[in-house]
Amino acid sequence: MSLQVFIFAAFALAAVGGAVATVAMRNAVYAAMGLLTTMFSLAVFYVMLEAHFIAVVHVIVYAGAVMTLFLFVIMLIGVDRAEDRTESIPFQRPLVAVLGGGLLVLLVVAARAAWVTGTAVEGGVADGTIENISNELFGTWMLPFQSTILLLTIAAVGTVALAKFALSRRAGAVTEPALDGEDGGGA
């Protein structure tokens, strides 16, 4: 067994284990750590495919920024409260089992196609260089890129504002602001 196969097998097991932990853990922080394990494993796969730029961006954006945001929101909301775990949708588990089995069949069928297995294309040009990616991102796709940044910033600020308002309401600290001349200081 070559070193590349060994590394692939080890990180494939780590990726699958992290994914299973993400959906199986009852504690949200442990589930986020499982997702982080999967993200790092995927970055190793990108390195093995010699897509170093994508691997670095994957680690910075997903494993770094997005996971930090997930953990921040989880900690802000609080994970120490018990949740109601009763199922409100009848036949939910059998339906999910049938849909999951159908998805598995679709994945197996799709895995036999050339576009999934990566069959080589004659005369193909490598477009994955940093220069080509930056030309596309900051040239052709500049407006959607900036719009996405704005949307994510607004969502993050809104989430923090709503969470702070909910925490202050829960603590009973919501008070009406004093109007000018009504500060109770007698004038």
Check residue 177 and report its DSSP letter: P
pLDDT in tens, 73-92: 777 776 656 666 677 777 88
pLDDT score at 42:
92
Contact 73, 159 (CB under 8 A): yes
pTM: 0.50
Most confident among 6-15, 24-33, 73-82, 91-100 (mean pLDDT): 6-15
pLDDT in tens, 108-150: 776 666 454 455 545 555 566 677 777 888 888 889 888 988 9
- What DSSP line would sit under 1-62, residue for residue? --HHHHHHHHHHHHHHHHHHHHHH-SSHHHHHHHHHHHHHHHHHHHHHTT-HHHHHHHIIII
Write the CB contacts of 8 (distance below 8 Å, at least 6 apart in sequence): 45, 48
What is the distance of C-alpha 183 from the center of its chain?
47
pLDDT in tens, 96-110: 899 889 888 877 776
pLDDT score at 12:
93
pLDDT score at 135:
83
